[in-house]
């Protein structure tokens, strides 16, 4: 698990309940003009979350005026993502969340599981996924990243590019407040508490998969 407090740190308070609103965006696909327009139209939004597919066809990324936290989709520049992770590339206000990690945004903990599920590659270590010019397997998440998410414990927000398939009551730890989220076409599971919010992309729509205390402003490009 990794945790890093954002330098933007836009939120006071000490819990998800203290957050009045934030923005959610899905599948930008390089439409940065629309992104800029949406952000400008909502100056009251302190930060935005994105569930993946951010890059343009040429591998460009936006320069948002307001902090934007994002996970990978299956359409990204994965070389640039590696550079973001390594700290050799950076864009102001653009914050990448690697799979199986959590970042702190003001008072909120936000975790990510980006990419898509591919049964053929699921048991491959993430570092061993083949890099191919027209078929980059780094677009998938793998078992070790799901296990890393499961080990995080409670988070306020879970971002996933794949939409959850179902929910069921089952404890990760000895607590009646825990439930399980199953990723689509997968038998592995991710944990959330009843006060967590799950945001995922499916058919270009953002789905909120849990009771929440924040007013969500969501835009689909």
Tell me how far apart the alpha carbons of residues 49 and 27 are, in angstroms, rounded to a whole number: 11
| 166 — pLDDT class (breaks 50, 70, 90) | low
Q: What is the pLDDT of residue 102?
A: 94
| 61 — pLDDT class (breaks 50, 70, 90) | very high
What the block records as the tokens of 210 is 């849990």
Choice among 56-60, 90-94, 140-144, 178-182 with the minimum mean pLDDT = 178-182
The model's pTM is: 0.75
| Residue 207 reports pLDDT greater than 60 | no
Which domains does the chain possess? 16-220 (3.60.21)
Tell me how far apart the alpha carbons of residues 13 and 17 are, in angstroms, rounded to a whole number: 9
Nearest Cα to Cα of residue 106 among 217, 213, 16 = 16
- Look over the chain and give the mean of its residue pLDDT values, rounded to a whole number: 75
Percent of the chain with pLDDT over 70: 65
Tell me how far apart the alpha carbons of residues 27 and 145 are, in angstroms, rounded to a whole number: 22
Residues near 51 by beta carbon (within 8 Å), at least 6 away in sequence = 24, 25, 26, 27, 70, 71, 73, 114, 159, 160, 161, 199, 200, 201, 206
């Amino acid at each position: 698990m990794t945790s890093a407090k954002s330098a933007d740190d836009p939120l006071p308070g000490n819990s998800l309940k203290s957050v009045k609103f934030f923005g959610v965006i899905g599948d930008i696909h390089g439409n940065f003009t629309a992104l800029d327009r949406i952000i400008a139209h909502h100056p009251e939004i302190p930060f935005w979350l994105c569930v993946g597919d951010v890059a343009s066809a040429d591998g460009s990324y936006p320069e948002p005026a307001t902090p934007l936290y994002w996970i990978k989709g299956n359409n990204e520049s994965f070389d640039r993502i590696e550079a973001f992770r390594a700290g050799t590339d950076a864009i102001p206000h653009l914050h990448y969340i690697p799979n199986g990690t959590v970042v702190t945004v003001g008072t909120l903990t936000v975790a990510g599981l980006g990419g898509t599920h591919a049964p053929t590659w699921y048991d491959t270590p993430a570092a061993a996924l083949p890099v191919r010019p027209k078929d980059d397997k780094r677009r998938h998440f793998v078992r070790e990243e799901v296990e890393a998410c499961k080990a995080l414990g409670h988070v306020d927000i879970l971002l996933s590019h794949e939409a959850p398939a179902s929910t069921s009551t089952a404890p990760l730890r000895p607590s009646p407040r825990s439930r399980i989220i199953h990723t689509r076409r997968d038998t592995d599971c991710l944990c959330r508490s009843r006060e967590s919010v799950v945001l995922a992309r499916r058919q270009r729509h953002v789905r909120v998969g849990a009771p929440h205390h924040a007013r969500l402003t969501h835009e689909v490009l």
